[in-house]
Amino acid sequence: MATRNLKSSWWAILSHSVRTAIAAMASFLIAQLFLLPEAYWAPITTFVITQSSLGTAVAVSWQRFVGTILGALVGAVAAAYLGPRVLVFGVCVLILGFLCVLVRSDRSAYRFAGVTLAIILLIPRAEPPWQIAVHRFAEVSIGLGVALLLTMLWPETADPVTPSLERKQTPRFVGNISS
């Protein structure tokens, strides 16, 4: 039984690793194909999304997509007209919160919007802010698209070891506390 669980666990880990490597490479290559200057954001997004089941991946992807759009828009406008000042950044973060409520997004969209805002507004660059915003949106969109496609074509398998370990260890841990 233990050997079977070990083989099953090994296969799940290997499958997950191969799946994630393929998705990361594909998203990076596609971003490079489009000559995006920070192509590494595509596989970073892919890593976040490919760790989920299809239902979760779609929900997380939508929130990340909405957050990236909001953060890119607010970041581009703020960077172009106001510059990277602390007060501007803080006000923009507050505005993003209101915008997320307005478009009925959740806190994860708000977090992604804040990350995108910070990348566009706070990192000094020579390119115009709108160009940085478009690139950021494209990089994230590529990562989302590749991750969702892979999640549909090659769904994540559950790790067979985790549930059995949790069942076996929980009673012992609770028993040790009470004794």
Which pLDDT tens digit goes with each residue over 118-157? 999 999 999 999 999 999 999 999 999 999 999 889 887 6
More confidently predicted of 1 and 100? 100
Among 24, 60, 13, 61, which residue's Cα sits nearest to residue 158?
Answer: 13
- Per-residue model confidence (pLDDT) at position 30: 98
**24 pLDDT tier (thresholds 50, 70, 90):** very high
Is residue 37 assigned to a domain? Answer: yes
Where do the H-state alpha helices sit in 35-160?
A: 41-50, 54-81, 86-102, 107-122, 129-153
Query: Quick check: pTM over 0.85?
Result: no
CB 72 within 8 Å of CB 133: yes
**93 pLDDT tier (thresholds 50, 70, 90):** very high
Is residue 93 assigned to a domain? Answer: yes
Among 152, 155, 130, 141, which residue's Cα sits nearest to residue 62?
Answer: 141
- Per-residue model confidence (pLDDT) at position 165: 39
**74 pLDDT tier (thresholds 50, 70, 90):** very high
- Per-residue model confidence (pLDDT) at position 178: 40
Is residue 164 assigned to a domain? Answer: no
% of the chain surpassing 90 pLDDT: 65
- For 50-87, b/e burial (b = at least 16 CB within 10 A) is bebeeeebbebbbbbbbbbbbbbbbbbbbbeeeebeee
As for how many domains the chain has, the answer is 1
Is residue 162 assigned to a domain? Answer: no
- Per-residue model confidence (pLDDT) at position 138: 97
Is residue 166 assigned to a domain? Answer: no
Is residue 144 assigned to a domain? Answer: yes
Residue 6 has pLDDT above 90, yes or no: no
Mean pLDDT value across residues 33-52: 91
Hunting for tokens 């994630």 — which residue is that?
A: 20
Mean pLDDT value across residues 29-44: 96
Query: Which residues, at least 6 apart from 148, have a Cβ–Cβ distance to it below 8 Å?
Result: 49, 57, 58, 61
**167 pLDDT tier (thresholds 50, 70, 90):** very low
Range of the domain at 129: 12-157
